[in-house]
Structure 1
Amino acid sequence: MAGISTKGSYGLAAMYELALHYGQGHLQIRDIAEKAHIPPNYLEQILATLRKEGLIQSIRGAGGGYLLAKAPAQIHIYEILFTLEGELCTPADEGLQPILHLYWGRVKEDMKSVFHESLQDLVDQGNALNQQSMYFI
């Protein structure tokens, strides 16, 4: 069974940054890397994968960058993680007893449910958190 690696975490962080700027134009890779605290070279690989899967678009050229291919409400966290990680809950041993296959199948469905939130949900939660923080300053 695989967990969520740095690749998945960084990919989600990059997508969150793009969601925060949705409708405001593109972001350059150095800006995404700086804001999300991701090594630029690693981010480049992650963004290439996300682009190939149609989750983001790239704009070429000196002033180019990246933007979401769809509205944040249409991109689910599970979709991002599946793109970068593959199946999130797959037992390593295919020779398991049938009841264990059923169990892992339920776990997989539960994970899909947990990660069903959209990027817009994350943006909204982040905005609410920022509002709460402002009251405590």
Structure 2
Amino acid sequence: MGDGVVKRKQNFQSFQSSKGGRFISIYFDMINSKAWQQLSGNSIKLYLYMLSKYNVKYVSNQIDYCNKDDISVPKSEYSKLMSNHTFQKCIDELIDYGFIRVVKYKPITGARKVIIYAFNNMWQKYGTKDFVIKDEWKRSNNKAYI
């Protein structure tokens, strides 16, 4: 290529994007799972939004940084997507079907706290005897912090 500039191949279709950029990867086993089929449209919308906040950095094929256990959605963000009531309902649904879990409550201003979520793989066991949602994963058990 004479001038040392390598042009990257675009891996998107015109119906997906006009610019390419970051994308969200969802595997078919998740979409075809019993748990995913139970989610409401708004819960799927919220999950996709949360997934867009996921970042991972690899160095020499090893994970150098990953925030899968540090996802937050403050009111300033979710209020652009849905009402407070709908957001709370969707968060509880995503927890109940094993897609996310509460990790901790992080102080912000005054007595307010932001909830930190993590992605969870329990959805893979939904509908089996091994499916368990632990109490500490639930937002409803910690409403005093909200």
TM tier, smaller:
0.3 to 0.5
The alignment's TM-score, normalised by the length of structure 2, stands at 0.37
Looking at secondary structure, tell me which structure has more strand per residue: 2
Q: Name which one, 1 or 2, has greater alpha-carbon Rg.
A: 2
The alignment's TM-score, normalised by the length of structure 1, stands at 0.39
